[in-house]
Amino acid sequence: MNNITEKKSKKKFKLKLSLKIILINFVTTLIVNTALFFLLLIVRTSTNLSLDTDTAERWLSLLSFITGIISIVLFAVAINIFIVKRIKQLNDSTKEVASGNFNVQLQEKGKDELAELATSFNIMANELKANEYLAKEFVRNISHEYKTPLSVIKAYAEWIGSELGEKIVDKKQLQEYADIIINEADRMAALSKSMIELSLLESTTIIKKEDTFCPAAQINNILKTMQVKWGQKQLEFDLQLNDTAITSNEQLLYQVWQNLISNAVKFTDSGGKIKMLLQITDKELHFEITDSGIGLNEQDKEKLFTLFFMADKSRNTEGSGLGLAITQRIINKLGGSIAVKSEENKGTTFVVKLDK
Distant-in-sequence, close-in-space partners of 82: CB < 8 Å, separation ≥ 6: 20, 24
**Where are the chain's structural domains?**
2-101, 142-203, 211-355
Q: Which of 59-63, 190-194, 225-229, 339-343 has the lowest mean pLDDT?
A: 59-63
Give the closest residue to 97 by CA, choosing from 131, 120, 116, 121.
121
Q: Which tens digit of pLDDT belongs to each residue from 268-290?
A: 989 999 999 999 998 899 999 99
Contact 67, 32 (CB under 8 A): yes
What was the pLDDT predicted at 13?
A: 44
Above 50 in pLDDT, residue 14?
no
Contact 249, 334 (CB under 8 A): yes
| CA end-to-end distance (rounded Å), the chain | 21
Q: Which tens digit of pLDDT belongs to each residue from 78-126?
A: 777 777 888 888 888 888 888 888 888 888 777 777 788 888 888 888 8
Encode burial over 162-199: b for 16+ CB neighbours within 10 A, e otherwise. eeeeeeeeeeeeeeebeeebeebeebbeebeebbebbe
Mean pLDDT for the stretch of residues 53-70: 66
> Which residues, in sequence order, are bridge partners of residue 241?
278
Phi then psi dihedrals of residue 240, to 5 deg: -130, 85
Tell the CATH topology of 142-203: Helix Hairpins (1.10.287)
Contact 291, 264 (CB under 8 A): yes
Domain 211-355 listed as CATH 3.30.565.10:
yes
Sheet holding 348-355, edge to edge: 236-241, 273-280, 284-291, 348-355, 336-342
